[in-house]
Structure 1
Amino acid sequence: MQAKITKTKVDALQAGDILADKEVKGFVARCLGSGAVTYGYRYRDKTTGKQRWLGLGLHGSITADQAREFAKKAAGEVANKQDPVGEIQESRAEAKREKLAEANTVNTVLDAFEKDHVDGLRSGDQVKAAFKSHVRPRLGDKSIYDLKRSDITTMLNEIKAESGPVMADRVLAHVRKAFNWQMVQDDEFKSPIVRGMAKTKPKERQRKRVLADDEIRDVWKALDQFEDGPACYPRYVKSLLLAMTRRNESSGMHTDELEGDLWTIPASRYKNKRDHVIPITPAIRELIGEKPAGCKKNSWYVFSTTKTKGELDGAKPFSGFSKAKRELNRIIAKNRKAEGRPAMKQWQLHDLRRTGRSLMSRAKVDADHAERCMGHVIGGVRETYDRYEYLEEKRRAFEALAGMVAMILNPPANNVIQFTEAAQ
């Protein structure tokens, strides 16, 4: 029915009744099945030709006169070829985006991703360290909805310049996983990461870098000069070569893993998921050092930077890899420049492990024993694996490696290194 919409007319409506206003075309009062009356404005969008309904409010919350004024305003917008419903929807969507943007910074997403996906992974500490060192300082406070491809590219270029292209690609892989995880549960987010952002090619990622003798001397010299960084760092880096360990295997060395002259890296920390036993040679023993002054327990992390009342306590493993490595590279570059030598080719801590294997070959260590020293499985007979097999052979191999390093650092006067048969 049609009449001027007033309070009296509205109060008389029955469930299902619709009252169209005679004064403002499109202004309507509808009585719902519940008995509540809602005001609205019906119109046809002049752009799309579709009929629209704009809710104005419930009777009681607003009066009939107030609803008529809202309808008049909407009618004016329609006359100007505007779409009141579309504008409201857009406004609501914008408000939703703003609310999401405030809640979903890169830091917030990385926190949630770490808790849901990273915690408990064998490589979890590496992923968190990559986020902490490279991503959070650069993008952490930005909303994920404001991220652009250029933001990712700029970050990767900076990481490449500071830590090398391999690290840049490693960070890219971690961030890609985090953003893909976010997209699964967030309809509003689209990852800015696209193909072609990697800084290396697949073949280039298969590193074969082995440090030359002069480079080993450069590293050792710089470590002996290392002052602006963790005191444990020189000992830690040397362990990577003398024990042929991976980065986190040495950084996580704990005295609970040491028994007599053996260091057992537990399967939970080792790549092949097996315990790996390393005979402790005098050279490795020297790197372990003494109990930290601030440690109140009977066990501690060997390479640690945490302190209690200003004294090292060994409470947590060392993790400041990137900053310390940059300082080490700076010292090496400074020394080589002072000696009139070219800059050292880009290298990584993991190259020390590969260098150790090469030095064992130079020392005539049996190839199988050298592979066992690296924790590689020989023959693939997993069921009969014995972590204490070939201990003496491995001990002689590590001693031969230490001997090779010693001769490289202090070459004989005639500059000829005599090789000895070792661990045959």
Structure 2
Amino acid sequence: MPKFVEGFAARITVPEGQRDVLVFDSELPGFGIRKFASGRTSYFVKYNVGAQQRRHTLGTVVAGNLKAMRLEASAILAKARLGTDVIAEKRAAAGRRIITLGEIVPIYLEVRKGDLRDRSYTAAERYLQQSWKPLHGVALDSIDRANVVRVVGELERDSGKVAADRARTALSTFYAWAIDRGYVDANPTIGIKSRSQSGPRKRVLTEGELVAVWKASGDDRYGRIVRLLILTGQRRAEIGGVSWPEIDLARQQIDLPEHRTKNGRRHLIPLSDAALALLPTAPDDGEGMLFSKTAGGFTGWSKGKLDLDASLPEMPSWTVHDIRRSVVTGMNEIGILPHIVEAVVNHQSGSRGGVAGTYNHAEHIDEKRRALQQWGEHVTALVEGRISKVVPMRAPQKASADMAGEIAVHARRGTSA
């Protein structure tokens, strides 16, 4: 057996009457050259895996590729000694259908539908179906960190840092499930840092800023939602996802069931005169959503906020959740007792947390109704440029700051603020 050198294949001759000839390298047993009577020449490697004998073509002989072909042959022979059959692997890969992100997302959502709360499911569906749509046609196991970073960057630019982070979290949760189900072996979101701030937000809008937001909010669905948030201090998903069966017009209140609240507790939200005026006309059948034509509630948060910000070019950066913190602060500053403010926003801490929260089932409904009516009159006076008849009290101001800070911390931790 000769040792292969560059140009050796040209000197090989095929005996007359034969179709081809195989010549093996003396330096690397199993590495060979196959030459046909037509003159076509290629490198190959011959190996055994158990009792199975294989011969794998490496490539056509061309000037300068001997070294590369020998290295490839050496790698295949090393795998064979460990029991790996590269031919079998290639055949399996060729017969395996490519599975894309867009194919598996609906399966994931169907499986998780019974496990997630309505709003959590709606958020997961929105992020996976809309935010990650640019990657739906990509093979699930081909999506890498660079793909994810590119889409996260686009979301940060178009929808903001918080939306980008939430979309990343939704994809990370999806991949954790996909790994458990055997669809993929790795999560491409690992190591991608949060785009939003690392600490809890403390932004409290001034009365002037609340008025500016109110006036910039139009009479469309998003505008009415924002104004209702200013009047009630609730979470945006609780108002944006309100359905007509949850509205009790006779009692002038919203009745949120346990699965619609963050702390899993039924929550009654009295509606002030100003809040009632913002409700759209009720349908004859009393069914459906207030601010959406489809189940799941309002979905145009990003566009609505961008349009609103465009109307407030001089206003410092703020988020919709800052409204909730601002309402808590404002209600305390006009003298509403802290435990009533907590009841209004369904915040489980202090007098409502721990053992006290477990055994105190009092809704404080009458106090909540008076508090929200008082707050509604205060906001209306501010918007109309009148002097509010509600006289601020100084005593609760420390409680106001403490509670607003506590809500920020709870929001950061993902608890029931």
Matched with 2:359 is: 384
1:375 to 320, 339, 346: 346
Matched with 1:129 is: 126
AA matched with 1:346: S
Matched with 1:179 is: 175
Indicate conservation of the 8 Å contact 2:378/2:390, yes or no. Answer: no
Q: Partners of 1:393 and 1:76 in 2: how far apart?
A: 83
The structural deviation recorded for 1:276 is 0.7
The structural deviation recorded for 1:285 is 0.9
Matched with 1:91 is: 90
**SS in structure 1 at match of 2:341:** helix
Matched with 1:143 is: 139
Alignment of 1:10-409 (within 5 A): 45-46=30-31, 51-52=48-49, 88-96=87-95, 99-100=97-98, 104-122=99-117, 123-136=120-133, 138-186=134-182, 188-200=184-196, 202-203=198-199, 206-224=200-218, 231-259=220-248, 260-292=251-283, 297-305=285-293, 317-333=297-313, 342=314, 344-377=315-348, 378-379=351-352, 380=354, 381-386=356-361, 389-409=363-383
Matched with 2:401 is: none
Indicate conservation of the 8 Å contact 2:244/2:282, yes or no. Answer: no
Indicate conservation of the 8 Å contact 1:153/1:197, yes or no. Answer: no
AA matched with 1:232: R
RMSD: 3.7
What are the ranges of 5 or more consecutive residues in structure 2 without an aligned counterpart? 1-19, 23-28, 33-44, 61-65, 397-417
Residue 369 and residue 179 in structure 1: after superposition, are their counterparts in 2 closer, same or farther (change >3 A)? same
Q: Partners of 1:133 and 1:332 in 2: how far apart?
A: 27
Indicate conservation of the 8 Å contact 1:267/1:274, yes or no. Answer: yes
Residue 331 and residue 243 in structure 1: after superposition, are their counterparts in 2 closer, same or farther (change >3 A)? same
Residue 168 and residue 327 in structure 1: after superposition, are their counterparts in 2 closer, same or farther (change >3 A)? same
The structural deviation recorded for 1:152 is 1.1
**SS in structure 2 at match of 1:253:** coil
**SS in structure 2 at match of 1:264:** strand
AA matched with 1:134: S
The structural deviation recorded for 1:114 is 1.5
Residue 323 and residue 305 in structure 1: after superposition, are their counterparts in 2 closer, same or farther (change >3 A)? farther
TM-score w.r.t. structure 1 length? 0.68
Indicate conservation of the 8 Å contact 1:157/1:168, yes or no. Answer: yes
Question: Percent of aligned pairs with the same residue?
Answer: 24
**SS in structure 1 at match of 2:254:** strand
Q: Partners of 2:325 and 2:290 in 1: how far apart?
A: 23
What are the ranges of 5 or more consecutive residues in structure 1 without an aligned counterpart? 1-23, 27-43, 57-70, 307-314, 334-341
The structural deviation recorded for 1:119 is 4.2
The structural deviation recorded for 1:162 is 2.5
Indicate conservation of the 8 Å contact 2:214/2:226, yes or no. Answer: no
The structural deviation recorded for 1:373 is 0.6
Alpha-carbon displacement from aligned partner over 1:246-279 (angstroms, at most 9, x marks no partner): 1211122223223322321111101111111111
Q: Partners of 1:258 and 1:317 in 2: how far apart?
A: 14
**SS in structure 2 at match of 1:263:** strand
Residue 284 and residue 74 in structure 1: after superposition, are their counterparts in 2 closer, same or farther (change >3 A)? closer
The structural deviation recorded for 1:395 is 1.3
The structural deviation recorded for 1:392 is 1.8
Residue 320 and residue 133 in structure 1: after superposition, are their counterparts in 2 closer, same or farther (change >3 A)? farther
The structural deviation recorded for 1:383 is 4.3
Q: Does 1:419 align with 2:398?
A: no
The structural deviation recorded for 1:284 is 1.4
Matched with 2:12 is: none
The structural deviation recorded for 1:384 is 3.0
Indicate conservation of the 8 Å contact 1:109/1:178, yes or no. Answer: no
TM-score w.r.t. structure 2 length? 0.69
Matched with 2:11 is: none
The higher relative CO (CA closer than 8 Å, separation ≥ 6) is in 2
AA matched with 2:391: F
Matched with 2:15 is: none
The structural deviation recorded for 1:322 is 2.1
Residue 153 and residue 369 in structure 1: after superposition, are their counterparts in 2 closer, same or farther (change >3 A)? same
Query: Aligned residues, how many?
Result: 335
Matched with 2:415 is: none
Alpha-carbon displacement from aligned partner over 1:68-99 (angstroms, at most 9, x marks no partner): xxx8x98999x9865699552343244156x2
The structural deviation recorded for 1:166 is 2.2
Residue 328 and residue 412 in structure 1: after superposition, are their counterparts in 2 closer, same or farther (change >3 A)? same
AA matched with 2:342: E
**SS in structure 1 at match of 2:255:** strand
The structural deviation recorded for 1:115 is 1.8
Q: Partners of 1:75 and 1:327 in 2: how far apart?
A: 59
Q: Partners of 2:252 and 2:390 in 1: how far apart?
A: 28
**SS in structure 1 at match of 2:277:** helix
The structural deviation recorded for 1:46 is 4.2
Q: Partners of 1:76 and 1:237 in 2: how far apart?
A: 66
